[in-house]
Structure formats: C-alpha cells, structure tokens
Amino acid sequence: MPTAVLLTDPACPALDPALVESLRNAWGGGPAVWLAPGEAAEFPVPQAPSNAPGVWGELQGLGVDLALVPEAGRRKRLLIADMDSTLIRQECIDELAEVAGVGAHVREITARAMNGELDFEGALTERVALLKGLEAGVIDRVLAERITHMSGAAVLAATMRANGAHTLLVSGGFTAFAGPVAAALGFDEAQANVLEAAGGRLTGTVRPPILGRDAKVAALERTAARLGIAPEDAIAVGDGANDLGMLGRAGLGVALHAKPAVQAQAQIRVNHGDLTALLYLQGYRRSEFAPV
C-alpha cells in the first residue's frame, strides 16, 4: 500500500488542509497525518491512482509537491547525495570558471551536460582544461565567498545520522569542495574527482578515473555492501543527468529542483520543498528533526 505525501516550500508553508482532504477523499485514502502544519501531510492509499501524473501537474501550479512512496522499508539506512546544485546552490566548476574569466562558456557546457545533452566525462574534461593556470588557492576563496548550502541540507544529514543512517556525499565535482562541504554539513564521508595541480596552479586536468554516472551507482552499491544493507535501503538525491543511475538504483530516488531531462525520468520529483522533503518522504515529522 503506497503513501501519498504532499509538501511545499518550508520558507512559505501554505499547504491547504482542504486540498489534502479533497485529494484524500478522491483517492479513497486513509486518515491524513500532518508531518508539519501547513508544510507536509500524508495519507495511505489502496493503490497508486491512475490519474496521479495529472494531479501532480495540477499541484505543481499551486506550489505543492506530490509523491507516492511505498510504505514498506520507508525509513532508509543510507543517504547518498549529489553536491552541486543539490547540497549546495552552485556548480563549483562554474564558480571557478567565473574567476578564471571563462564563466559564460563553462556555464553553458555545464547546463547541457547536466541535462544529458553532452557526455559527462567529456564535458568535464573540456571544462577543466579551461581552468589551466588558475591559482590553486582560488579554491579556498571560492569556497568562502561563493558557495552556499542548500536549505535543509544539514538538518537532513543530522536527522538521518541520529536515526542510525550512514550519509555519503558523492559528486562529479571536486574533492577540494566536497570534503569541506561534507564536513560542514555533517556527512560521514565524501567521494569526488581530484583536480590536479602543480607549482600552486591547476594543470587543467582531472586525476583518472573520472567519477561520473556509473561511478555514483558503484559508490551506492559498494557503500551499501559495506554497511550490510541492500541498495533498496538507500535514499538518493540529485539534480543532473549523471545522477539518474543512482536515483534509479536506490530504494527511493529523489530529483531535487532537477533539470528537465532528469525530471522526465525520475520516480520522485521535488520542485518546491527543500532537502527536508527527503525526511517527509520517509515519514519523519518535523518534531523528529535533529537540531543543527
């Protein structure tokens, strides 16, 4: 029996109880439970309604996200999360490119790669080559001045860890960013690509092998095996085409504010909520969120 979860932007919670009750009645659902007043509610339904895709579209226009999640094994034991435009609001390579004076060109390549229009590995190699000669010390400045965390990121990690889950940041970006971001948000570990440098300057190369779509799936499977759990016990979140593999492999895959091509293939899409949406999807109440 699936559970229907409705949620909205916690910065301006406006989930109408009448809307929740109307949908519950239309779908023959069980009693509605409010996970957070005005922000998130859920109710069980006998089966996935055939008109769910159309209802999802209508609710999007009201600023409401809708997801149907299996009730069995709902609380996951592994969180695997993308970094760029998921745990942080920026794409790190774009910010470095801005400092290097090639920002517009690199941003265009990034957008196309994340929408699945370009091969990820080739696009990354091309963009990194444009950074050749940039002072390596610029990374610390970009981290301090240009990188901001996505709303709900620290709460998500803290709550899952408090409930016994393992948290892994896995990025097609760079370790120089992933390590500090993971530490700041309270993640257990981080995996990413290594930007090579020599003489205090970037060489314009990435240490092989490049961590792309397949490597993210492998990281999920390897970490799950190490923890003695199945991939179905994981929840994954990302926004780009290189995240689709791990979103499909995890028990619960969430496309967060994702690119159009990703939304078209993702099982769950969150366009209005923040990262705490992943907690609501697992049935956590706001009162259960861990302090940060």
pLDDT at 76: 98
In this prediction, residues 162-173 reach a mean pLDDT of: 98
In this prediction, residues 3-19 reach a mean pLDDT of: 96
In this prediction, residues 8-33 reach a mean pLDDT of: 97
- Residue 89's pLDDT band (cuts 50, 70, 90): very high
The whole model's pTM is what? 0.96
CB contact burial 120-140 (16+ within 10 A = b; e otherwise): bbebbeebbebbeebebebbe
Q: What is the mean pLDDT of the chain?
A: 97
In this prediction, residues 254-283 reach a mean pLDDT of: 96
Taking phi over 0 as left and psi of -120 to 50 as alpha, with beta for the rest, 228 belongs to left
- Residue 71's pLDDT band (cuts 50, 70, 90): very high
CB atoms within 10 A of CB 146: 16
pLDDT at 165: 98
pLDDT at 10: 96
Contact call for residues 240 and 262 (beta carbons, < 8 A): yes
Q: How far is CA 142 from CA 92, 145, 195, 200, 260, in A?
A: 8, 5, 15, 16, 28
pLDDT at 90: 97
Contact call for residues 100 and 134 (beta carbons, < 8 A): yes
Contact call for residues 185 and 206 (beta carbons, < 8 A): no
DSSP 275: T
In this prediction, residues 205-225 reach a mean pLDDT of: 97
- Residue 63's pLDDT band (cuts 50, 70, 90): very high
- Residue 55's pLDDT band (cuts 50, 70, 90): very high
Question: Domains of the chain by range and CATH?
Answer: 1-72 (3.30.70), 75-292 (3.40.50.1000)
**Tens-digit pLDDT profile for residues 92-140:** 999 999 999 999 999 999 999 999 999 999 999 999 999 999 999 999 9
Taken as a whole, the chain contains a residue count of 292
Over its C-alpha atoms, the chain yields an Rg (Å, rounded) of 20
Extract the tokens encoding 28.
Answer: 């023959």
| Percent of the chain residues topping a pLDDT of 70 | 100
- Residue 56's pLDDT band (cuts 50, 70, 90): very high
- Active-site residues, by number, are 82, 84
